[in-house]
Amino acid sequence: MFIDIHAHAYVHTYPLPDGRQAFITPEQLISRYEKSGIEAGVLLPLVSPELYLPQSVGEIIETARNSGGRLIPFCNVDPRAIGNSPETPLEYLLRFYREQGCRGMGEVLPMMDMTDPLMLNLCRHAEAAELPIIIDITGCRGYGGYGLYDEHGLPGLEMWLRKFPRLTVVGHGPGFWAEIARQPPDAPLGGYPSGRIQEEGAVPRLLRTYPNLMADLSAGSGANAIKRDPEYGIRFLEEFQDKLIFGTDVCGPNDPFRMLDYLLELRTRGKISEPAFRKIARGNAARLLGLQ
């Protein structure tokens, strides 16, 4: 019924200072999928060091191969890798990962401006390698932050969409989803704004304008965007039913699947149409990943 576009798992997880398990294992993830009606999930390697310990793409590929089809590998390359240069020819590496079964790239979340030449180089080679890219825009800058940085109205993202028209970009993260509504000029980028949506922001405008933009509903940021104004959220799900993808962004073994029960509830209550539910829950992910 569901395909999860956004999951993380470590074969060799590690304890946090408070004793909790830092990451879910592949076995634990598949067990949770079994209980929740999720047929498959995309494993996104974490390679930028600002927030997590970097993870091998090879580990992701091997984990997916041993999962009986339940896990689908993405590759990931930090844009500073192999030379720290905007001229680094990353396409050969991305094509190699695609040949090994990777269906896309992400989650891309180095703490860098979206207009940084290193980021544009990564986008250029992802487009050439025909790999969709899942990005995390957080709105953070400075110590303690991570993720791509843009401005209100997401001009950096719009520049990507124009400059790389054959690159499918899947938006995600607080800095992306906060822009479902127009933000006050003095508000910080990102976060989890509350309240009714009085005026639409950059996200619906960009989804209407650019065929190569999709959106990942995972994590607290995606759930907050849809639930903060339930009436608008339902209209948003219907209007963009061809562009929205269910995801969990599961990291720890007990992380909630925030959108799963909500989408099922909307379907049961007849608040969203059956075609919209099926596309968001599974169909759009299957199309993006080249699955049947």
pLDDT digits (tens, 9 = 90+) for 86-143: 999 999 999 999 999 999 999 999 999 999 999 999 999 999 999 999 999 987 777 7
Nearest of 103, 217, 115 to residue 160 by alpha carbon: 115
Residues in the chain, total: 292
pTM above 0.85, yes or no: yes
Are 280 and 5 in contact by the 8 Å Cβ rule? The answer is no
Are 216 and 5 in contact by the 8 Å Cβ rule? The answer is yes
The DSSP call for residue 12 is: S
pLDDT tens-digit profile of 241-289? 999 999 999 999 999 999 999 999 999 999 999 999 999 999 999 999 9
CA distances from 172 to 137, 163, 175, 223, 245 (A): 6, 20, 8, 11, 10
Please give the Cα distance from 183 to 82 (Å, whole number). 38
